[in-house]
Structure 1
Amino acid sequence: MFSIIVRFMQLILCISILIVIHELGHFLLSKIFKVRVERFFLFFDPWFSIFKKKIGDTIYGIGWIPLGGYVKIAGMLTEKKENKNWEFCSKSSIQRLLIISGGIIFNVLLSIFIFSFLLFKYGDIYLPTKNVKYGIEVDSLGERIGLKNGDNILFINGKYIPYFNDIPKSILLGNSITIDRMGKIIHLSLNDEKKRFLFERKKSNFFIQPRVPPIINYVIKNSIADKYGLKNNDEILAINSEFILFADQLKNILYKYKNQTVFLSINRNSILIKKKIFLDKNGILGIFLKNFLDLNKIFLLEKNNYSLIQSFPYGIKKTWSILKDQIFFFKNIFSFKTKAYKQIGSFFSIAKEFSSQWNWNIFWILTGTLSIWLAFLNLLPIPSLDGGYILFIIIEMITTKKIKEKILERYTIFGFIIISLLMMMVIIWDIFKVFFY
């Protein structure tokens, strides 16, 4: 229950930041061009609001439906012969275009600022592909696209990927993988049918990771491992006469000997120790093994630190990289072969991405990612979104004729209905995934 509350609080704070920054973009551009803003609200406020206060010409407030926010700009849809100079319609096409684009611009800037700050504070940690000594470990999804434990990935789309961190994303974006399997060069194709397995996955964990030796990271209290005296940092060498070189081999061998007594050989501080252990019906010891991040003496990581000035160009690069990934995903949503639409989620799915304990690093990474996603969605030429208004203004600029108010109103209402229906469908789908999928 506590973890749910923490995730919910992080979600509300994240959404609030994104909305305020987006609407602030419209607000400040309006002020620059001397357009009056009548209302500035965080969340929607039908019938009543939690808080509101008028300062100058603007009413600032907080609504009670946390699905968005808005600024009400004076004269958005008026077509009088003489518009007042503080109304939106009295301004030039360029000024109106900038005011409408303000939210998108500010969301992009927020994303760049967040990623620049994170790079400045934490730097970047990478695992060079050349340092993946033992090949890869794959789960069932990795196997379904043709990969196997121990494979060494040489190229994706004919290109060498210098950092292992980028390989899962490159596989999703790519069309072919070249691997070294025990000295044999194999070419795997990546068609939509294979990618469908990856898009259909229920968990967001990686389907490949570096293969690691079976070294205990943590022994669960009161487990079989704890009962028989296994300790953190023990390396499991063999079970009975079967040698174990890698973590992925351990689970299958343990399951093979379930409900049996086995002899476990371990390396503890360069001393060979043998233990006689009875495995339960599940063949589970009750341990967590180290991953490649815990084994920095084996897998040499590279860390790049950035000065405040250096962080901004790399922050822009990071934002652009995330945007490209989002565009790729958006394109695949409409493909029934990949079934990427199954990964669509509402606030419920977003909340699950936050840490169960408050983690500012994860919080800001998600906020920066969602900010550029919000900018991208608002750029789509859909009526009632910023992109719809931008499209109408561009048409006006090309034709030199203003679009009639009734047409704008009808398209805005139509767009609002469509978006509302889509949101309802996504929420229903999200609830269905939680309880039935």
Structure 2
Amino acid sequence: MIEILVKTIQMLLCLSILVIIHELGHFAFSKMFKVHVEKFMLFFDPWFTIYKKKIGNTIYGIGWLPLGGYVKIYGMNRENQNQKVKIKHNNGFSNTKIANNNIKFYYKSAIKRLLIVSGGIIFNVLLSILIFSGLLFLYGEIKLPTNNLKYGIEFDSLGKQIGFKNGDKILFINDKVIPYFNDISKEILLGKDITIDRMGKIIHVLLKNEQKKMIFDKKEFIIKPRVPPIINDVVKNSLAYKCGLKKNDEILSINSDIVLFSDQIKDILYKNKNKLISILLNRKQQLIKTTCFLNKQGIIGIYLKSFIDMDNIFVFEKHKYSILGSIYHGTIRTFMVLKNQILFFKNVFYIKTKAYKQLGSFFSIAKELPSEWNWEIFWVLTGTLSIWLAFVNFFPIPSLDGGYILFIILEIITNKTISEKFIEKSNIIGFIIISFIMFIMIIWDILKVFFY
């Protein structure tokens, strides 16, 4: 129950930040160009609002439907041009037609209207840059250079199904060098031609849509640097504990099988279950031999070290950034996130990859949030969603910001005013399409709970 509450609060806070910043973009440019904003709403408010208050000439409120928000800009539609509204000035109220025309959206130049409509997208991009820059400034970055993977990569069962083998060293993905291990799994998912060094032999793993389908079906693709089998911890009263195995022991062999890497241990133990096993260890440069009878489950009771615990073997690059440096790298990261989202979006249209299974509504967002409050993860997700919101709103679909941007650009190019009836009908169709997509996303999220 507490886990659900924490996830729900994080989700609502994340959505609130994204919506407020997006609508603030429209609001700020409207105010800059002296266009009257009638309403500023966090979340939608069909039938009723949770809270509203008029401050100055604008009503600010909170709706009950957390699917977005809006600002109502005066004169956004050219209909009812003679409608009057009371606007408060220093010397009182004015409701003359001239005053109204000066504060109407459609009485402003095309460039000003373009900036007002684009304001939400611009502010979402800036928010993403601000978040990633702040995270880099506060936490810095720890990266593992790909050329420091001296033993290659360990793949999960899915990776092996696709065509990889433990120990493979990735040289190129789509003929591009991937400088850091942190980016490899993502680049594999988005790539097609992976060039690898397999025990000195150069081979190519070609990812077809069928292989990508396997990744999207499983929803997880785990890779990690291959490491030697060094014990990190021994479970108390376990078989390993009774046999005298200790932390920092390196396992050299089990029976007649030489052990070079951690990923070999599980298979060797399984093969020797219900048998007497002899284990050869390297303990502080001394050879230690011990024997014990392995149970029928093939479980000995040890935890092996991961690459994170082996900074004596793997050389990590630790970066701390100045304010200017964090802004520069935060901007780069923002657009790298956007690039990856666009590449993922392309995969959605290849039905065979089944990438569409990864799409979802705010329920999917909630699932990505940690069950315990973690500000770093929260802000990474918020920054990622902010640039995604900017990208989606740029689509030239009527009723989205991109639809209005398209109409204004056409007006600038043709030097002709687009019919108000055409814009109105297009917006209605666009709204129906967007609403239908959102409805399908919610239903899809609910179905995934039961079927995936």
The SS at the match of 1:162 is coil
Q: Quick one: which amino acid aligns to residue 412 of structure 2?
A: M
With over 3 angstroms needed to count, the CA separation of the structure-2 counterparts of 1:218 and 1:399, relative to structure 1, is farther
The aligned residue for residue 8 of structure 2 is: 8
Counterparts of residues 142-153 of structure 1 (less than 5 Å)? 142-153=159-170
CA contact (8 A) 2:269 2:298 kept: yes
What do you get for the CA RMSD once the two structures are aligned? 2.3
CA contact (8 A) 1:123 1:304 kept: yes
The aligned residue for residue 86 of structure 1 is: 103
The SS at the match of 2:122 is helix
CA contact (8 A) 1:79 1:89 kept: no
Is 1:301 the counterpart of 2:316 in the alignment? yes
The aligned residue for residue 390 of structure 2 is: 375
1:12 Cα deviation after fit: 1.5
2:409 to 390, 394, 397: 394
Counterparts of residues 15-94 of structure 1 (less than 5 Å)? 15-80=15-80, 84-94=101-111
CA–CA separation in structure 1 for the residues paired with 2:44 and 2:152: 52
With over 3 angstroms needed to count, the CA separation of the structure-2 counterparts of 1:413 and 1:260, relative to structure 1, is farther
1:123 Cα deviation after fit: 1.6
With over 3 angstroms needed to count, the CA separation of the structure-2 counterparts of 1:388 and 1:227, relative to structure 1, is farther
Q: Per-residue CA shift, 1:70-89, capped at 9, x if unaligned?
A: 11111111335666211212
- Deviates further, 24-33 or 412-421: 412-421
**TM-score computed with the length of structure 1 as normaliser:** 0.92
The aligned residue for residue 416 of structure 1 is: 431
The SS at the match of 2:218 is coil
Is 1:329 the counterpart of 2:332 in the alignment? no
CA–CA separation in structure 1 for the residues paired with 2:281 and 2:420: 78
CA contact (8 A) 1:128 1:162 kept: yes
CA contact (8 A) 1:134 1:212 kept: yes
Q: Quick one: which amino acid aligns to residue 190 of structure 2?
A: L
Q: Quick one: which amino acid aligns to residue 194 of structure 1?
A: Q
The SS at the match of 1:398 is helix
Q: Quick one: which amino acid aligns to residue 32 of structure 1?
A: M
- Deviates further, 96-105 or 405-414: 405-414
**TM-score computed with the length of structure 2 as normaliser:** 0.89
1:117 Cα deviation after fit: 1.3
Runs of at least 5 residues in structure 2 that lack an aligned partner in the other structure: 83-99
Q: Per-residue CA shift, 1:182-231, capped at 9, x if unaligned?
A: 2222122233333332233323xx43221012234455677665676755
1:152 Cα deviation after fit: 1.6
Is 1:140 the counterpart of 2:168 in the alignment? no
Is 1:119 the counterpart of 2:136 in the alignment? yes
- Deviates further, 418-427 or 164-173: 164-173
The aligned residue for residue 354 of structure 1 is: 369
The aligned residue for residue 200 of structure 1 is: 217
Query: Sequence identity of aligned pairs in percent?
Result: 66
CA–CA separation in structure 2 for the residues paired with 1:19 and 1:100: 15
CA–CA separation in structure 1 for the residues paired with 2:120 and 2:429: 22
The aligned residue for residue 172 of structure 2 is: 155
CA–CA separation in structure 1 for the residues paired with 2:301 and 2:63: 49
